[in-house]
Amino acid sequence: METRANHLWVGAVTLVLLAGLAAFIVWIARLGEGKQDEFDIFYGQSVSGLATGSQVSFAGVPVGQVTEIALAKDDPAFVRVRIKVRDDVPMLVGTQATIEASFTGVSTILLDGARKNAPPITCETTACPEGAPVIPPGRGGFGAIVANAPLLLERLATLTEQLNTLLGPENQQEISGIIRNTNRLTGGLADATPALVANLEQFETTLTEFNETLDAVEKLTLTTDELVRTEGSPLAEELRGTLSSANDALAALAATLEDTRPAARQLRTSTLPNAEATLQDLRATSRALRAVTEKLESEGAGALVGGKSLPDYKP
């Protein structure tokens, strides 16, 4: 009996020592980890690939790990993932938690989106439905694809329906006609290629001649400008002298007209009437002379001395 009791005491002491050693090791490990803060993340999607102990990183830097994965108490449609993060990590309002998958099938949680000067995430700044501050989930990678899958499927179905409508029997005939016309147009263009090449060559030649013409016009313009600059001043001086002489001549003519106005007025008022009366007298004298002349021719000079002679009387 005493030997069995000794064995029991030895076993009990050994177990106590092992338990103490384990507790000491855990304490040392927690002492090396430092103080950590707990946060909850509620995902409305599958969290396959996450497990207890999965890594939590902040902008790619490991800062903690997943400590618990369970269904939310209030709504089983959400999965609650509890994480522990070092207390020196700036967990500020605006931070989001995104599940990042890898080729090995093991997923991690990536924290990102914190803004400078934002308040820290605590139960005062955010909700704490299960005793820990909540970090909003982020959509990225496969999670974003899964979240947008219904919309993508709906758009794909709409696109399929539109393609079926577009490729219906009637539209297929029209598309075939368009393809035939396109082939015909392509063949026509291929046949017309030599003519197009010739026209392009002629057009190039025309452009060359046009450029040469422009160069000649430019040279003519420069020559004209030089002529105007060199010969324009003497011509302008001569023209100015000619205009001055013409002005002097016009002034002299105006003065002459002023001088002749009294003589013209006298000629019009007295001289011309007297001249007209004299002309009338001359006309009367001319008629009288014509009558005398006619009388001389017909009757002789005696007609001027006396009257007509009586014919001789014979008994």
Lowest-pLDDT range of 71-80, 130-139, 281-290: 281-290
pLDDT at 229 over 90: no
Amino acid at 87: D
What is the pTM (predicted TM-score) of this model? Answer: 0.40
pLDDT of residue 3: 59
Could you tell me which residues are beta bridge partners of residue 69? 81
Q: What is the pLDDT of residue 47?
A: 85
For residues 135 and 41, give the distance between their C-alpha atoms in angstroms, rounded to a whole number: 5
Q: Assign 209 a pLDDT band (cuts: 50, 70, 90).
A: confident
Instruction: Please check the confidence at residue 35 and state whether its pLDDT lies above 60.
Output: yes
As a whole number, the mean pLDDT across the chain is: 76
Looking at the predicted structure, is the pLDDT value of residue 278 above 80?
A: no
pLDDT at 310: 46
The C-alpha atoms of residue 182 and residue 169 are separated, in whole angstroms, by 20
What pLDDT, in 10s, does the model give residues 165-181?
777 777 777 777 788 88
Report yes or no: 40 and 134 within 8 Å, Cβ to Cβ.
yes
Name the residue ranges covered by the structural domains of the chain: 33-148
Q: Which has more pLDDT, 291 or 206?
A: 206
pLDDT for residue 227: 65
Contact 156, 149 (CB under 8 A): no
Please tell me the least confidently modeled range out of 29-33, 128-132, 161-165: 29-33
% of the chain exceeding 90 in pLDDT: 12
**Residue 98 pLDDT more than 60?**
yes
Q: Quick one: pLDDT at residue 148?
A: 63
The pLDDT tens digits for 9-28 are 767 778 878 888 777 676 66
Query: Residue 222 pLDDT > 70, yes or no?
Result: yes
pLDDT of the residue at 6: 65
4-29: burial string, b at 16+ Cβ within 10 Å, e else: eeeeeeeeeeeeeeeeeeeeeeeeee
Window from 86-90, 260-264, 268-272, 297-301 with minimum mean pLDDT: 297-301
Check residue 51 and give left, alpha or beta (phi > 0: left; psi -120 to 50: alpha).
beta
Cα distance between residue 277 and residue 66, in whole Å: 149
3-state secondary structure the chain: CHHHHHHHHHHHHHHHHHHHHHHHHHHHHHHHHCCEEEEEEEECCCCCCCCCCCEEEECCEEEEEEEEEEECCCCCCCEEEEEEEECCCCCECCCEEEEECCCCCCCEEEEECCCCCCCECCCCCCCCCCCCCECCECCCCHHHHHHCHHHHHHHHHHHHHHHHHHCCHHHHHHHHHHHHHHHHHHHHHHHHHHHHHHHHHHHHHHHHHHHHHHHHHHHHHHHHHHHHHHHHHHHHHHHHHHHHHHHHHHHHHHHHHHHHHHHHHHHHHHHHHHHHHHHHHHHHHHHHHHHHHHHHHHHCCHHHHCCCCCCCCCC
pLDDT reported for residue 163 = 78
Q: How confident is the model at residue 313 (pLDDT cuts 50, 70, 90)?
A: very low
pLDDT at 78 over 70: yes
Q: How many other C-beta atoms lie within 10 A of the C-beta of residue 57?
A: 16
> Which two tokens mark 276?
């007209």
Token pair recorded at residue 6: 């000794």
Confidence check: pLDDT of 93 > 80: yes
Average pLDDT rounded to a whole number, residues 264-288 = 67
